[in-house]
Amino acid sequence: MAGKKAIKKATKKATRKATKKATRKASAKAGALSAIVRNILRAKGVGDAALARLEAAGLGRREDFRVVGDAGTLAELTGLDAGVARRVMAWALGSLAGAGGTVVVESPDMVTCVRCGARQPKDYKSGDLCVHCGKQAEPVFACYWCSASGPGRYCRACGASFVSPGELELAILLKRDGLPKDEIPKRLEALSPAEKEALWGRVHKR
């Protein structure tokens, strides 16, 4: 009987020991900096000794720095230079600061009338008349490819994306040069001012 009890006790002890070990291992892991965090911190000017102190303080993931809260506390914790601590905290809190910002992102599809400036409703479709003044809300573009014209960003006749009216003639010239339809707006965007100048020279020569 006594032997059985002793075995039970020993097993219990062993289990407890294993659990303790596992817990210690897990907490060590939580304080270990991942390779990416380590590299970012190095780039911010954190040296190896300071990295070790960060780990010792229990900082592992970027989220942990949010617990620290500010550069002063981080400097106190780790003995980091104040400037470096500030850079680290700016990085750690960066996405938080962005979330609290007041930048209003307008839907890229939001259309305002070119004649009266009125915002068009959400269900506005390219070509609709302005809800406010009753005129064509969008500018009408001419197509460099098929010479149809219409509102919106794309030609309804051939699907080409419109280029700015000021560069229509350049686009037509590029078409004559044999450029494919989809390449023309991209090429126009990529041209340097000098290259554009040269193209205009050719347009005016004809």
The footprint of Zn ion (CB under 5 A) covers 113, 115-116, 118, 130, 132-133, 143, 145-146, 148, 155, 157-158, 160
Radius of gyration of the chain (CA): 33
- Cβ proximity to Zn ion: between 47 and 159 the closer is 159
Task: Report how far residue 66's alpha carbon sits from residue 63's, in angstroms, rounded to the nearest whole number.
Answer: 5
- Cβ proximity to Zn ion: between 86 and 119 the closer is 119
Q: Which long-range contacts (CB under 8 A, 24 or more apart) does 26-31 make?
A: 29/60, 30/58, 30/60, 31/55, 31/56, 31/57, 31/58, 31/59, 31/60
- Cβ proximity to Zn ion: between 113 and 174 the closer is 113
Please state the three-class secondary structure of 27-78 as a single string: HHHHCCCCHHHHHHHHHCCCCHHHHHHHHHCCCCCHHHHHHHCCHHHHHHHH
Least separation in angstroms between residue 142's CB and Zn ion is 9
Q: Greatest CA separation found in the chain?
A: 112
- Cβ proximity to Zn ion: between 61 and 115 the closer is 115
Least separation in angstroms between residue 124's CB and Zn ion is 11
**Residue 176 tokens, joined:** 């004559």
Amino acid at 46: V
- Cβ proximity to Zn ion: between 38 and 132 the closer is 132
Least separation in angstroms between residue 166's CB and Zn ion is 18
Least separation in angstroms between residue 146's CB and Zn ion is 3
Least separation in angstroms between residue 75's CB and Zn ion is 57
Least separation in angstroms between residue 173's CB and Zn ion is 16
End-to-end Cα distance, the chain: 112
- Cβ proximity to Zn ion: between 96 and 116 the closer is 116
| Cβ within 8 Å of residue 168, ≥6 positions away | 142, 144
